[in-house]
Each structure stands twice: as structure tokens, then as C-alpha cells.
Amino acid sequence: MDKSYSDSYKAAGVDITAGYRAVELMKKHVARTMPGGRADIGGFGGLFPLDMAGMKEPVLVSGTDGVGTKIKLAFLMDKHDTVGIDCVAMCVNDIICCGAKPLFFLDYIACGRNEPEKIASIVGGVAEGCVRAGCALIGGETAEHPGLMPEEEYDLAGFAVGVVDRSRIIDNTAMRAGDVMLALPSSGVHSNGFSLVRKVFDVEHCALRVPVKELGGASLGETLLTPTRIYVKPVLALLKEVAVKGISHITGGGFYENMPRSIPKGLGVRIRRADVKVPPIFGLIQSTGGISEHDMFNTFNMGVGMSIVVAKEDADRALAVLAANGEQAYVLGEIVPGDGVELL
């Protein structure tokens, strides 16, 4: 018998051998994110070689987040391989807003009971998110919390660290009236507003797997679990070609809270409602829940996962660069004197 085994601890609800098996199962996922395919996990700290070549004054940028109550959908659908993508996305999409390239990511999974295959599936999603973001998954933590949460449930959070040269930090100081705001489409609800979504659809009692006509035949469950888009690679490509004046990650709080965060005082953005390309899921949420237009745009991304401000004369070039990198961006609005978001 392996000496690292405790009958007493297992009787209390914590199986440390299950933790070891989970680590072994997740190593193949972690290896996908590491240079040379290495998966050096299991120690006490995550190591990352820092290459600052070409930077005069490197600044580290960090971001942390979780998946929120979207995880409830993963429980109900018994599908756990995409919420990790959401977790990575919520962190790396934040730090790219100041121009930082994500370097590495660590996750934290708290669970009622450690089921190694389920934990490995979750980490597989985290690794996929890291691959999409071009960063390394260098470590994490899985903790069993018997008695604190039901055995079949878990929560997931993480953080990312990136780097940007100080002279290239995006700080909105160059923004002027007449600049244009571009929209990068979302994949749907992403990972925000799910407390309202769950209430609107009463997800614990509705048919999540049945095809829905308004969703083009997709089920409500699979539509809501669609992972958050990761914008890192196209935005980094854009930053090399065009002078970007501001970026917002559109998360909880929707347009009204997030867009002004990248716009300086004295300026706002004017957007025509007809120009916003809204996916069908939002219309279904609004009609089912009887939600006002204002509350929809103040809660959800409404089809815009990220907004980017550039000079008007750079807009066509920016759209072309984004298209070449897989983003079908479009002109969303104009920067004007004023304050906040004006939705016409």
C-alpha cells in the first residue's frame, strides 16, 4: 500500500489518493500549454521562465476571475469540459485590455468530492483556454471541501499574469471625439448574468436538451454553455498594426458599465441600436423574462464581447487585421463629447 494514504481522512470525506490520480490525468492537458510539451505540475509553486527581450520597461499585469453561476448549467448538463475555457477567458480578456500579453495561468477548483475524471475534464477546458490565449498553465489547486458543498458540485476560479512594455500600455489618453468604436462579436452570454438567466428559464426545471426553434435548433443548455470567446491573439495582432486607443471587455454590467471604463472623462460613445448585431439567445432571454431593453444592455454583452476604439482613419485597416485573424468585427459607434453610453 502507498504510504501516502489515510483511512481517517477518507472517512472524513477527503480522498488524497483521488487527488493524486486527478493530477496524473490532468498532466496531458497541462502539457499542451507548455513549451516543449512539459507538464511539471505537482510541486509547491508554478515556475515560468520570463523572457523580457525587446522590452525597455516591462510591466506585469494580472487578472483574476471565476465562472460564476454558469457552473450550475455544467452540473445540470453534466458537461464539464468547457467551463475551464470560460475561466481563462474572463482573466486573459481583462488583461489584454491594457495591451498585455498573457504569460501564464493558475486555476483553483474547490469540490465536494474529488472525482478524478471530472477534475481532469475541467482542467482540460482550462488547458484549451490557455492554448487559445497563448499562455502556459503552470499550476493550480484542487481542494475537497466535504460538508461545505454537495459532493457532485464544484467551483472554479483562476488568475492570469501578463506583460506589456510601459510605453505600449493602452490608457485612453489619445482618445478624441470622432474616433470610432469597433465591436468584436461574442459567442453568446459568455460568463455573466447567469443569475438572471437561471431565474428567467428556471433552469433546474426546464428542458435544457430539447431543440429550440428560436436558437436555430440548438438546445437551451448547449447554447448557454457555449464558452466565452478569447480575444487575445487577434487583439495582439491588431496592436502590432494599428494604434489602439481603448479596449473594453464587455462582462457583467453590459454596455453601460464596461464601455465607459476605456473612455476618458468628457467623452462618451454614441451607438445606434440597429447597428448592434444581437444573437438570438438575448431575444429569447428578453421575451421570456419580460426584461426591459435598458436592463438587457446593462446586464449582458448583447453580442459584443469586446469593444476597441481606433482613429476613424484607422478603422478599415483595423477591421482588415481582425478579419485576417478570425474576428468578424464591425463599426459599432462613435466617440463623442459627453459621458457614458448613448444608445439611440
Q: What is the pLDDT of residue 11?
A: 55
Nearest to 96 by CA among 13, 175, 161: 161
Judge whether 342 and 223 are in contact, CB under 8 Å: no
Taking 50 as the pLDDT cut, the residues of the chain under it are 1, 9, 37
pLDDT, tens digit, for every residue of 69-81? 999 999 999 999 9
Q: What is the pLDDT of residue 300?
A: 97
pLDDT, tens digit, for every residue of 193-241? 999 999 999 999 999 999 999 999 999 999 999 999 999 999 999 999 9
Q: What is the pLDDT of residue 265?
A: 95
Phi/psi at 94 (5° precision): -70, -50
Q: What is the pLDDT of residue 51?
A: 83
Q: What is the pLDDT of residue 56?
A: 94
Burial of 136: CB neighbours in 10 Å, binned 0-12, 13-18, 19+ = buried
Q: What is the pLDDT of residue 40?
A: 62
Judge whether 114 and 22 are in contact, CB under 8 Å: yes
- Owner of C-alpha cell 438575448: 282
Q: What is the pLDDT of residue 139?
A: 87
pTM: 0.91
Q: What is the pLDDT of residue 1?
A: 41
Burial of 235: CB neighbours in 10 Å, binned 0-12, 13-18, 19+ = buried
